[in-house]
Amino acid sequence: MEYTDRILEYFKEITGIPRESGNEERMREYLIRFAHTRGLECRTDSVGNVCIVKEAAPGKENVSTLVLQGHQDMVCEKTAGSTHNFLTDPIDYVIEDGWMIARETTLGADDGIGVAAMLMILGSELPTGKIECVFTTSEETGMDGAFGMQKGFFTGKTLINLDSEDEGQLFIGCAGGVDTTATFAFNNEALNDDFKVLKVSITNGLGGHSGDEINKGRMNAVKALSTFLASEDGHGLQLVSIDGGNKPNAIPRECSAVIAVPDADATSSRFAEFSKALANEYADTDPDVEFGILPAYSESPAVCAQVTSAFLKAMAACPHGVIAMSRDIEGLVETSTNLASVKMAGDGKIVVVTSQRSSVTTSREEIAKAVADCFRTGGAVVEHHSEYPGWKPNPDSPILRACVSSYRKLFGREPQVKAIHAGLECGLFEEKFGGLDMISFGPTLRGVHAPGERLDLASLERFTAHLIDVITNCNQTV
Ligand SMILES: [Zn+2]
């Protein structure tokens, strides 16, 4: 109880420190000051990572070093009407019915609560071996801190990552990923005088995270609209513009296109049929999708016929969704791809962004190549970027055994052992430094990365008890 309260106090303090990804200076200063006022060894590096060391308690000098790790930054999202300024304002929250809830913004419990837990431990007299607390930067925007970290920044070989959001679940693996971008260059073509211009759109899909939610059967608006347009190509369509999706890691919720067609009525009735079939297909998993087709006006010319055909064929052929499930861990998506966005880039270019994930490196490479080939065949220039490695589960991990038996002892039930189909910094640590024994767990958070993000306070108590039990008892036999 007491330790949980201390974590909560630290976390409340942290909610007052602006720390958007890339803007973590004040958080870093806070951490350095924290270490100095307590006489703790503290190091930083050129990318803003901080490591604070708690020396072993008397009698624990022979216990091998344990690394605790979380990220300093937070995702900064707010509601449409909010006047919150993430560069200056503290996060406004309420505590209600056992939850700590941000009012109009993200709460930043991802990963402020992991940071707060480390501060509690660093400031405590808990009887542990030597502990290195590692605070990374810009995890949410590409794991820049973990990417930039040099060998030797921490020395322990057992690492507990505190950046998971389901209490009672222990994570022992994650997916690696890569983004694949295709650029189509085109010439302009005049709109046919006899053609009618239409704006067709698919909107209001649920979307979601392209890792965690790729297996939920949600509609991909970009994929769906492209499929319709590809079929209209056979009826002589001219494509003026297309715009859909946003971030590489989000399933696109909407897509619209301006087209010109020889027979607007025929196109409209084919679209109505297409919409009906699609609404049926997604009646259970994405029920509120809306379809629109309206007369429009365009001053812009069309994309030349040749590129239009090649582009739409490639979009229709490009895979989206789950490619393979894991055979080792039930229910885990092993490999997936997200057809994330399509935009007119100006100067005669259409840019398509896709994102592939897999816990198996060769499978990730295979699906990224398949997507790339699909667009290259259509004449696009393709690039891969933002690659990060996965973390392969080790069911025989000593830290996993310690965490499972501690959980069983404390709560009389089994924790779930899982891997996630999303990225964690653990994958990078393993690739860069090697020979690490790692696990990830945390208290329950809901709605992370969105306004109204909340922290389950009862789960925070269990998390605290579990973490303390593990760090005071693990690594003893080394
Ligand atoms: Zn996080």
Instruction: Kindly state whether residues 414 and 358 are assigned to the same domain.
Output: no
Mean pLDDT, range 392-397, rounded to an integer: 88
Closest residue by Cα to residue 307 from 125, 392, 423, 183: 183
Residue 207 has pLDDT above 50, yes or no: yes
Domain assignment present for 304: yes
Mean pLDDT, range 182-199, rounded to an integer: 97
Tell me the C-alpha distance between 30 and 215, whole Å: 40
Domain final residue pick, 369, 388, 407:
388
Distance 336 CA to ligand 1 centre (A): 21
The confidence score (pLDDT) of residue 476 equals 62
Residue 477 has pLDDT above 80, yes or no: no
Express each pLDDT in 160-180 by its tens digit. Answer: 999 999 999 999 999 999 999
Tokens found for residue 115: 């940071």
CATH number of the domain to which 413 belongs: 3.40.630.10
Residue 345 has pLDDT above 70, yes or no: yes
Instruction: Kindly state whether residues 210 and 238 are assigned to the same domain.
Output: yes
Instruction: Kindly state whether residues 209 and 355 are assigned to the same domain.
Output: yes
Distance 370 CA to ligand 1 centre (A): 30
Among the options 73, 77, 132, 144, which is catalytic? 73
Tell me the C-alpha distance between 77 and 151, whole Å: 33
Domain assignment present for 101: yes
Q: Is 469 known to be catalytic? A: no
Q: Is the dihedral of CA 476, 411, 463, 420 positive or negative?
A: positive
Domain assignment present for 210: yes
Length of the chain: 478
Express each pLDDT in 260-308 by its tens digit. Answer: 999 999 999 999 999 999 999 999 999 999 999 999 999 999 999 999 9
Distance 427 CA to ligand 1 centre (A): 14
CA of residue 227 relative to chain centroid, distance: 27
Instruction: Kindly state whether residues 203 and 307 are assigned to the same domain.
Output: yes
Among the options 77, 110, 111, 139, which is catalytic? 139
- pLDDT bin (cut points 50, 70, 90) of residue 17 is very high
Express each pLDDT in 91-146 by its tens digit. Answer: 999 999 999 999 999 999 999 999 999 999 999 999 999 999 999 999 998 899 99
The confidence score (pLDDT) of residue 1 equals 56
Which residues are in the CB-under-5-Å shell of ion ligand 1? 110-111, 163
Domain assignment present for 461: yes
Residues 455, 113: contact at Cβ < 8 Å? yes
Domain assignment present for 126: yes
Domain assignment present for 353: yes
Distance 75 CA to ligand 1 centre (A): 8
Q: Give the three-state DSSP class for 366.
A: helix
CATH number of the domain to which 300 belongs: 3.30.70.360
Distance 12 CA to ligand 1 centre (A): 17
Instruction: Kindly state whether residues 76 and 159 are assigned to the same domain.
Output: yes
Q: Is 73 known to be catalytic? A: yes
Instruction: Kindly state whether residues 201 and 248 are assigned to the same domain.
Output: yes
Distance 215 CA to ligand 1 centre (A): 21
- Which pairing describes strands 302-303 and 188-189: parallel, antiparallel, or unpaired? antiparallel
Domain final residue pick, 388, 417, 433:
388
Tell me the C-alpha distance between 224 and 217, whole Å: 13
Domain final residue pick, 368, 388, 408:
388
Instruction: Kindly state whether residues 365 and 430 are assigned to the same domain.
Output: no
Domain assignment present for 478: no
Residue 78 has pLDDT above 70, yes or no: yes
Tell me the C-alpha distance between 11 and 419, whole Å: 27
Where in the sequence is the domain holding 245, given as residue range(s)? 177-388
- The domain total for the chain is 2
Instruction: Kindly state whether residues 373 and 426 are assigned to the same domain.
Output: no
CB atoms closer than 10 angstroms to residue 283? 10
Distance 180 CA to ligand 1 centre (A): 23
Please give the span between the terminal C-alpha atoms of the chain, in angstroms, as a whole number. Answer: 31
Beta-carbon contacts of 433 under 8 Å, excluding residues fewer than 6 positions away, are 151
Instruction: Kindly state whether residues 153 and 296 are assigned to the same domain.
Output: no
Residues 352, 182: contact at Cβ < 8 Å? yes
The confidence score (pLDDT) of residue 478 equals 43
Instruction: Kindly state whether residues 90 and 186 are assigned to the same domain.
Output: no
Domain assignment present for 264: yes
Instruction: Kindly state whether residues 438 and 378 are assigned to the same domain.
Output: no
Instruction: Kindly state whether residues 414 and 369 are assigned to the same domain.
Output: no
Distance 212 CA to ligand 1 centre (A): 13
